[in-house]
Amino acid sequence: MDIIDRGLSDEQRIARASCRAFVDEVVTPFIRQNWQREWLMDPDARLPRSILEGADKIGIRTLGVPEEFGGTELDHSEEVQTFAIIAEELARGDAGLADKLVQNWKVSVLLRKFAARHLQEHWFPRLVSDPGFLLAHCLTEPRGASDRWLPYNVPAAAMHTRATRQRDHWLINGRKQFISNGYDAGLFVVYANTDPKVGMLQGTSSFLVPRNTVGLTIARCNETMGGRFMNNGELVFEDCRVPADHLLVEGEALGSAGIYFRPGKIIQAAKNLGVGMAAFERTSEYVQTYVQGGRILIKHQAVALRMADMATRLAAVRALLGTAARAVDGAAPEADQICNMVKVFASEEIFRVAQHAMELHGGNGVMLDFGIEKLFRDAAIFLHMDATADISRLKIAKAIFPDTAGAYAGPEG
């Protein structure tokens, strides 16, 4: 199924072509030839550094970093659209690798906006100079995640992670869970409650926390069913001492985080689409070469119908994704609503595409060394990333019916 590039800028065409070549020549061969490596229980041994070095060579590891610091700066008027194009191509090769890299992009945009100049001058060069350097965004906690965003803006919904001011520094105590790049990032953006007396949206602050900070412990790497080349982690903060100037946003951090979350929903859907495209491409090749019942599979009506269904779902996701990405780049008033729509729609439609792919491969579809079941596992992960589907639907309903929709959390007012 050819990708139509109508309306893309020259920069976007070049970026997509470069990323596609990297995926086809480096990422996909590695994944296919080393399918056992994602199951290694040593997280450091899964993805070789050479893959990140390859991404660095074509400039896609440091997207969003200002050019003055050596990053790959994009046209801001279409930045999120370009993020989506590259994320799709990366995920077509491997969803975990895409997860690993896009965290760098999103956090870089956040730092570009809110970090003090001296922090940018210190951390952006570190990121640019080391191909293995990763960033992480630490919001989710063991006892509170996407349900906090319904909203229910009262002190009871506040972060359990707390930060208290102590003269020239802050002390952070708490725990963060399900953090992308959490196991191996070198720098973390951490959200904590700094005012227990007010609502969550007024009492949450964000901090820049280096990996080697005393009081920060990387507790574990979460062993996920899919996206396993991104090492999801759990972090513990015990009197973690952060200099006062490492405060990014005080009090209003969750509201300011929209600059991370809106592109994040778009990128999430784009990664999802990349997994779906890989499933469709692999299945297209299979049904046109594998013979059953005396004819190639595509000549069986049941198979043809499923392939048509897969193609239609992919086209629908791509169309909504394009609309949502343009809304974010254009700061449209409906951007938040449509971002949630495309996140939910993509996760469910692509999961169905991956299911078709696995079933059309018959017995081969569930063989680990064949690689199709991996796409199914990777697609399943997206149902739970960046908010669950049901929480996202409740947020969509709240946006459509702001005056009459329920609170969906806590007691009715």
3-state DSSP of 277-339: HHHHHHHHHHHCCCEECCEEHHHCHHHHHHHHHHHHHHHHHHHHHHHHHHHHHCCCCCHHHHH
- How many C-beta atoms surround the C-beta of residue 68 within 10 A? 10
Give dist(CA 269, CA 336) in Å, integer: 14
Kindly report, residue by residue over 169-191, the tens digit of the pLDDT.
999 999 999 999 999 999 999 99
Residue ranges of alpha helices (H) inside 73-196 are 79-93, 95-114, 117-129
Cα three-residue angle 71-74-80, rounded to 5 degrees = 120
Residue 405 pLDDT grade (very low, low, confident, very high; cuts 50, 70, 90): confident
Locate 48 and state its tokens.
């070789």
413, pLDDT greater than 80 = no
pTM for the model? 0.94
- When mean pLDDT is compared over 147-151, 212-216, 289-293, the highest value belongs to 212-216
- How many C-beta atoms surround the C-beta of residue 36 within 10 A? 9
Kindly report, residue by residue over 341-365, the tens digit of the pLDDT.
999 999 999 999 999 999 999 999 9
H or E element in which residue 235 lies? strand 233-243
Grouping H, G, I as helix, E, B as strand and the rest as coil, residue 171 is strand
What is the sign, positive or negative, of the torsion defined by CA atoms of 207, 211, 217, 223?
Answer: positive
Give dist(CA 261, CA 255) in Å, integer: 10
Locate 235 and state its tokens.
């972090």
| Predicted local distance difference test score (pLDDT) of residue 3 | 62
Give dist(CA 395, CA 404) in Å, integer: 13
Residue 373 pLDDT grade (very low, low, confident, very high; cuts 50, 70, 90): very high
Residue-by-residue DSSP string for 206-223:
EEEEETT-TTEEEEEE--
Taking each helix axis from N to C end, the angle separating 258-287 and 372-381, rounded to the nearest 10 degrees, works out to 160
| Predicted local distance difference test score (pLDDT) of residue 158 | 80
Give dist(CA 188, CA 206) in Å, integer: 10
What percent of the chain lies above the pLDDT cut of 70? 95
Does 255 or 186 have the greater pLDDT score? 186
| Predicted local distance difference test score (pLDDT) of residue 264 | 93
201, pLDDT greater than 60 = yes
| Predicted local distance difference test score (pLDDT) of residue 305 | 98
Residue 358: CA count within 13 A, CB half-sphere = 20
**Domains in the chain, ordered, with CATH?**
10-132 (1.10.540.10), 136-255 (2.40.110.10), 258-400 (1.20.140.10)
For the residues 66-81, what does the mean pLDDT come to? Answer: 95
